[in-house]
């Protein structure tokens, strides 16, 4: 990409898209195109194609998606499969129709089989049963990956797919009904601290292990891949290390400064028991994550403090 290349960041207000936008700006890219969902509904093919025809985009970061944690995936399965299929199909095909030079599609490591060996290697995709709590989302994302690979094979496009692990950082979703585990913990401990509550309840047993990647590290990796990777195979993005939910909760508790107890509601689902990604491929290309977990959590909590009144209650 040249510094004046016309680059479209789809989903620029979300956790991932906003980080990609910050990374591109910091690296000196000047011709960046964004649209809010009210300005452009990515679920409407005619509108998306008209946008691509008008703007003549050269590079696309496809970070727009309907995302959420266990609760949201359980309650809105139809929306998770429908909206994601529509968004990615419209953007990928419009990119092809208007001769976009290169596109990066964001998958997720939660679409690997539930009981796949650890750490998760890229070749484990589609080798087993999916985690039931997010199956509709996973199937949509797998379809997006296969669509990119199919367009590459049939049309000679350069559409690459990245598989980020669990993410956190600025512009995260802190809605307790829709958020992922780390932002939910930040908000829970903060509100308990503010209200002087004696304890905080956490779903499950605390035994599952998760890997956490700061959104700014992901964004740096996405720009790196756009500039240095042209393969048809998916690429994991992670830190190569994980932590139990119990240890994560204790870490967030310390960062927030909550002094009460942690109570585990074992009647609630744990989700996938472990999800650590093998980062051999991207490390071999020359990229590694840089932000330590505690440092990242402190910055995420500070962002929450600075923006909590603008966050939906």
According to DSSP, residue 309 is labeled G
Kindly tell me if the per-residue pLDDT of 312 is higher than 70.
no
The CA radius of gyration of the chain, in Å to the nearest whole number, is: 19
What phi and psi values does residue 277 have, to the nearest 5 degrees? Answer: -100, 150
Question: What gap in Å lies between CA 29 and CA 44, rounded to an integer?
Answer: 28
For the chain, give the longest Cα–Cα distance: 60
Q: Is 270 annotated as a binding residue?
A: yes
Percentage of the chain lying above the pLDDT 70 cut? 98
- Determine whether 137 is an active site residue: yes
Residue 206, burial from CB neighbour count under 10 angstroms (0-12, 13-18, 19+): middle
* 214 appears as a binding residue in the annotation: no
Report the pLDDT value the prediction gives residue 233, as an integer from 0 to 100.
97
Mean pLDDT for the stretch of residues 106-135:
94
Query: Cβ contacts of residue 197 below 8 Å, gap of 6+?
Result: 191, 260
Q: What is the pLDDT of residue 195?
A: 96
Q: Which is catalytic among the residues 8, 59, 112, 137? A: 137
pLDDT at 309: 65
Task: For residue 210, say whether it is annotated as part of any ligand binding site.
Answer: yes
259 vs 178, residue with greater confidence: 259
Mean pLDDT lowest among 56-70, 86-100, 139-153, 184-198? 56-70
165 annotated as belonging to a binding site for a ligand: yes
Q: Pairing between strand 209-210 and 243-244?
A: antiparallel
Whether the Cβ atoms of residue 61 and residue 8 lie closer than 8 Å to each other? yes
pLDDT at 97: 98
Compute the mean pLDDT over every residue in the chain, rounded to the nearest whole number: 94
Residue 166 labelled as part of a binding site: yes
pLDDT of residue 311 exceeding 70, the answer is no
Cβ atoms of 93 and 207 closer than 8 Å: no
Ligand-binding annotation for 11, yes or no, is yes
Q: Look at residue 201 and give its three-state secondary structure.
A: strand
Q: What is the pLDDT of residue 6?
A: 98
Q: Which domains does the chain have, with CATH numbers?
A: 7-172+210-241+274-291 (3.40.50.720)
pTM: predicted TM-score of the whole model, two decimal places: 0.92
pLDDT higher than 50, residue 313: no
pLDDT given for residue 269 in this prediction: 85
* pLDDT (tens digit per residue) in 202-243: 989 999 999 999 999 999 999 999 999 999 999 999 999 999
Q: How far apart are CA 36 and CA 186, in angstroms?
A: 27
């Amino acid at each position: 990409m040249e510094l004046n290349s016309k680059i479209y960041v789809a989903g620029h207000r979300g956790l991932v898209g906003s980080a990609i936008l910050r990374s591109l700006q910091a690296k000196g890219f000047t011709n960046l195109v964004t649209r809010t969902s009210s300005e452009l509904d990515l679920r409407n093919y005619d509108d998306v194609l008209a946008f691509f025809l008008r703007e003549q985009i050269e590079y696309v970061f496809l970070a727009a998606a309907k995302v959420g944690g266990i609760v949201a995936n359980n309650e809105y399965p139809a929306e998770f499969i429908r909206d994601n299929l529509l968004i990615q199909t419209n953007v990928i095909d419009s990119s092809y129709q208007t001769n976009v030079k290169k596109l990066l599609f964001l998958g997720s490591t939660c679409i690997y089989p539930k009981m796949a060996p650890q750490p998760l290697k890229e070749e484990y995709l589609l080798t087993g049963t999916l985690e039931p709590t997010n199956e509709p989302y996973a199937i949509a994302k797998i379809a997006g990956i296969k669509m990119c690979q199919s367009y590459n094979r049939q049309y000679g496009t350069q559409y690459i797919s990245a598989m980020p692990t669990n993410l956190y950082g600025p512009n995260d979703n802190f809605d307790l009904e829709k958020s992922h585990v780390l932002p939910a913990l930040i908000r829970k401990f903060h509100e308990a601290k503010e209200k002087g509550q004696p304890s905080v309840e956490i779903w499950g047993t605390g035994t599952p292990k998760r890997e956490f990647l700061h959104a700014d590290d992901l964004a740096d990796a996405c720009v790196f891949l756009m500039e240095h990777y042209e393969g048809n195979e998916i690429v994991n993005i992670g830190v190569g290390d994980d932590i139990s939910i119990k240890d994560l909760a204790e870490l967030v508790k310390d960062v927030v400064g909550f002094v009460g107890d942690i109570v585990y509601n074992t009647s609630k689902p744990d989700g996938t028991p472990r999800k650590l990604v093998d980062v051999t491929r991207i490390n071999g290309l020359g990229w590694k994550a840089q932000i330590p977990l505690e440092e990242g959590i402190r910055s995420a909590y500070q962002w929450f403090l600075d923006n909590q009144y603008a966050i939906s209650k």
